[in-house]
Amino acid sequence: MRRLGRWFLGFLLVIAGALGALYGYTALRFNRSYDVATRPLTLPTDSASLARGQHVATAIGKCVDCHTADLGGKVFIDDKALGYIVTPNLTGGPGSPVAGWALADWDRAIRHGVRPNHRGLAIMPAEEYQYFTDADFTALVAYITSVPKVDRSLPGRTFGPMARALYVAGKLPLFPAEVVKHDSVGRHSFPEGEYLARTGGCFACHGVTLAGGAIVGMPPGTPPAANISTTGMINWTLADFTTALRTGKRPDGSTLKAPMPWKLTANLTDAEIEALWNYLRSGNYPSQAGGPKS
Ligand code: HEC
Ligand code: HEC
* pLDDT at residue 294, as a whole number: 61
CATH number (domain holding residue 132): 1.10.760
Q: Please check whether residue 133 lies inside any domain of the structure.
A: yes
* pLDDT at residue 1, as a whole number: 57
Look at the pTM and tell me if it is higher than 0.85.
yes
Ligand 1 pocket member 97 (CB < 6 A): yes
What is the CA(12)–ligand 1 centre distance, in A?
A: 38
Domain count, the chain: 2
* pLDDT at residue 289, as a whole number: 72
Ligand 2 pocket member 226 (CB < 6 A): yes
How far apart CA 96 and CA 191 sit, in angstroms, is 35
pLDDT in tens, the chain (294 residues): 577 788 888 888 888 998 999 999 899 889 999 999 999 999 999 999 999 999 999 999 999 999 999 999 999 999 999 999 999 999 999 999 999 999 999 999 999 999 999 999 999 999 999 999 999 999 999 999 999 999 999 999 999 999 999 999 998 999 999 999 999 999 999 999 999 999 999 999 999 999 999 998 888 889 999 999 999 999 999 999 999 999 999 999 999 999 999 999 999 999 999 999 999 999 999 887 777 766
Q: Please choose from 229, 260, 265 the residue to mutate so as to test ligand 2's pocket, defined by most ligand atoms within 8 A of CB.
A: 260
Q: Which of 132, 143, 137, 106 is nearest to 121 (CA)?
A: 106
Question: In terms of domains, do 59 and 180 share one?
Answer: yes
Q: Please check whether residue 13 lies inside any domain of the structure.
A: no
Ligand nearest, relative to CA of residue 125:
1
Ligand 2 pocket member 250 (CB < 6 A): yes
Question: In terms of domains, do 107 and 221 share one?
Answer: no
Ligand 1 pocket member 154 (CB < 6 A): no
* pLDDT at residue 13, as a whole number: 87
The answer to whether the beta carbons of residues 83 and 160 sit under 8 Å apart is yes
The answer to whether the beta carbons of residues 287 and 208 sit under 8 Å apart is yes
What is the CA(269)–ligand 2 centre distance, in A?
A: 17
Ligand 2 pocket member 205 (CB < 6 A): yes
Residue 87 amino acid letter: T
DSSP 127: H
Query: Cα Rg for the chain, rounded, in angstroms?
Result: 21
**Residue 173 CB neighbour total at 10 angstroms:** 15
Question: In terms of domains, do 121 and 236 share one?
Answer: no
Question: In terms of domains, do 184 and 200 share one?
Answer: no
How far apart CA 165 and CA 233 sit, in angstroms, is 37
Question: In terms of domains, do 182 and 52 share one?
Answer: yes
What is the CA(122)–ligand 1 centre distance, in A?
A: 8
The two most distant CA atoms of the chain are separated, in Å, by: 78
Question: In terms of domains, do 78 and 164 share one?
Answer: yes
> Which domain-ending residue is among 137, 153, 188?
188
User: Can you give the residue range of the structural domain that contains 164?
Assistant: 47-188
- Beta bridge mates, 77: 85
Ligand nearest, relative to CA of residue 176:
1
